[in-house]
Structure 1
Amino acid sequence: MLLWIAFSLMTGAAILAVLWPLRSVAAGVPAAASAAEADLAVYRDQLAEIERDREAGLIGAAEGEAARTEVARRILRASAEAEQQKAASKGADTRRRAAAIIALIGVPAMAGGLYLFLGSPLYPPQPLAQRLEARPDQTDIAILIRKVETHLEANPNDGRGYEVVAPIYSRLGRLDDAARAWSNAIRLLGSNATRQTGLGEALTTQAGGVVTAEAKAAFQAALAADAKDPKARYFLGLAAEQDGKPAEAGRIWGALAADSPPDAPWLGLVRESMARVGAAPAPAGAVAGAPGPNAADVAAAESLTPEQRSQMVRGMVERLETRLAEDGNDIEGWLRLMRAWNVLGEAEKAKAAAGEARAHFAKDEGALGRIDALARELGLGS
């Protein structure tokens, strides 16, 4: 019922919008015609007055005739104008009637036809909440976000909800909301690398690319949870660069490049950053075909018996160690040796390999930075 009342009011408003200008047009035409009629009446009075003055001898016959001629000319002109105004009034009346018919019949008919074609009075109301419930697979990002926000308003301690919506806020540029959501997720669910790097990245982007103290603390917390987190390591290198410590930034990025697989998506950015601070480029991951165990070799050894696995891995480590004793200029080999001894549980041998590596690269600041970074990562100390 309310729908039809609304439709009636809108239709009435549309008709009024059409008819109201016609009112002023209709009033203007009779006014012009009445003015012409008034002029004719004045001119007729002037003729009668001229005739009375002539009979009374107030004006001469020649003067009276001239005055009558002038007034007669004016009467003819006023009569012509009156006829034109009447014709115009008749045409305006016709157009007014046509416009009124269109407004009274055409507008409602057109509106009703469009509604029957595009809509239906049988559709029930569809509030946003009901639409969200009826369409859980809705792909409209705004509706999805609103659904999560409504849920969080009712359940403010749902950390998982904050964790879900936080990266969406970041992609939409809602950085204040993203940082707040990550903070709530950390508060409710605890700290981990993903949440801390999300918070740090949101704060950094919010600051225009500057790693603020709060963002740096978040990245350090992420690294404490996962020492290999590439995003946290990159941004900590960026923080060092922004603090005026290019050598430290180069060491951090060099270690990250060394630990990254060759197809890592972030490797190009890391190498560009290293070039920016003047650090020597470092190859990523293990060198193909290089002797010595790498992570893949150790993983493959897990399919063997304990005795076979120990024999295979130790043989590879010993061959690498022998080669490095002959040619100790292979920084990648030393890093692999340190990792291999650490995987085998030989912390002392891994620490000794780190010491030998430092001796070989005592004058190479970049190599020393990579060795120290790996030693800290493996818990070998300085």
Structure 2
Amino acid sequence: MLRLRCCILARLRSSPATSQGSYLHRAISAAAAAPVISPNPSFAVDDYLVETCGLTRAQALKASPKLSHLKSPTKPAAVLSFLAAQGFSSSDVAAVVAGDPKVLCSRVDGYLGPVVAQLTGLGLSRSQIARLISCCHGNLHLTSIVSKLQYYMPLFGSIDNTLRALKGHFYLISSNLERVVKPNVATLRDSGLGDCDIAKLCLAHTRLLTTSVESIRAIVACAESLGVPRGSRMFRHAVCAVAFLGVDKIAAKVVYLKKTFRWSDAQVGIAVSKFPPLLRRSKDSLQRRSEFLISEVGLEPTYIAHRPMLLSYSLEGRLRPRYYVVKFLKENGFLNHDRDYYNTLNISEKTFMEKFVCPQKEAAPHLAEDYAGACRGEVPTRFRIA
């Protein structure tokens, strides 16, 4: 209609005055004969989503195609009125609509009301209900949501953890508990993982709950083959690393570790068994740490293999700056040369300052300044005595 109106005005401006009347009559007749696009031409879905529902313009543009059939605000207004009456804040409403725009087409009495009542009965707050609706993307079926939440909340430890899991993998809502989720959890328990470990593992890799039992068994077997025994403190981390990389890529990562750190099969086994998250480190990260620790610091590969936590520390924020401090202190006679480098890394920043930097305030007044610069990446050519 707007395009037709613009066309009419353009033709009117270009037509002689003597013919404007007859042309206007024909144009209006043509407009009247054109099909009616909407019973309420002033209702624009995207504008409504922004001005009334609180969405950003980008969110509205993404959501509006799902509501293109709406010709008036009647249904959305009823939904918004219900949510407001239930105590949903404007930000809660925006989260609900952005996550599931079709909720604006819901029947309040037949669907939305019972859903909110049931979820409230489980102890969810209004903001938690809003988060749940928004992360389920239309898969919020009253017949199953309550039973699934009753299972997931104890599994993950809290409703907030459950919502985090659903946000990362909303298929948890549509997956069958009896045929898929519960057998997977049972398989993880059979592998020696406790409930707390399973909760942490599945929060990090939620798809473990919806994959096949065979896939979980393969992941567990691969983790065990790395030399990490079932039931050990590190076994969850090993399973997590395998789930992160995939069974097929683990062997290649082990080969890369051997090459990068000059490790034997036995040494890489020791390193991985002590610190399985090592497998998740990027190749670039591992390469830079190898160059620094072996080539610059002069550590032996076997030393690193028995202390793989070295590779978990920030190169720029901890490994380099503390090495420079220790090296400076040893070279200037402030520290025994037998002081182990690793022991200066696994202490807190406060303890490191108290033990290694502050005591030298008079003898080396610039040490704190030089160390702070090193932590910012501004490594000086040498630390200064005065």
Query: Given the two structures, how large is their TM-score scaled by the length of structure 2?
Result: 0.22
TM-score (norm 1): 0.22
Computing the radius of gyration over CA atoms, which structure comes out larger, 1 or 2? 1
More helix by share: 1
